[in-house]
Amino acid sequence: MIKWIFVSIIVLVLFVASSFILEIDLSRIGGRTLRRIIIFNNQPNEFSISCSDGNSTETCSSYYPKNIEFEDDSPTTSCPEYFRWIHEDLKPWKNTGITREMVERGKNISHIRLVIVNGKAYIEKHGKVFQTRDMFTIWGILQLLRLYPGKIPDLEIMFQCGDKTVVNKKDFQEPQISPPPVFHYCGNEHSYDIVFPDWTFWGW
């Protein structure tokens, strides 16, 4: 009897979990099997949170707008200051561009491959990461796609989720060898790692 109760509980847990997150194998893209991450839940949920004073409770709405209207959407004449760092990080590929071969050379030093096609994210995992860093990086990307529907271009990038840089400049001193473009939480003057925002502290 206890055995059947235990099995029933496991089935119930799996059924409930599958209503929130489901991974479906897609057709092979470029010879690699990727997974499309689909998040869905037809029932509106509200989650109670405890406020810092310990005496009151508020409710977090599960409503997520398809996009957010910004109050000031007037065109600007200049780019924000941080744009110069984007150009600085991408400077190693300014003259050559980024080729398929360069991207693939980053596979062995990356944890995940992110592909965005028509506003949908596809993920290929290359290695085990610390705790849930990869999932919270993916979560951040999904929020970006939700915030700017139809505005994120199709792309494919390799992503490293560790604490230390992996594309060291000393390994690419020959002019005929271009470094692989690998996005990362960190960078320094001795590496070509492309700095990317780190959401993962929320997932520890």
For the segment 97-150, what is each residue's pLDDT rounded down to a tens digit? 999 999 999 999 999 999 999 999 999 999 898 888 888 888 888 888 988 888
Is residue 17 situated within a structural domain?
yes
Is residue 102 situated within a structural domain?
yes
36 and 101 belong to one structural domain: no
156 and 102 belong to one structural domain: yes
Token pair 């709405």: residue: 61
- pLDDT bracket for residue 47 (50, 70, 90): very low
Its domain, for residue 24, covers 1-40
Query: What is the value of pTM for the model shown?
Result: 0.64
Is residue 155 situated within a structural domain?
yes
pLDDT of 40 higher than 50: no
Number of domains in the chain: 2
Q: Which residues are CB-neighbours of 106 under 8 A, at least 6 positions away?
A: 158, 167, 180, 181, 182
Is residue 47 situated within a structural domain?
no
10 and 91 belong to one structural domain: no
107 and 166 belong to one structural domain: yes
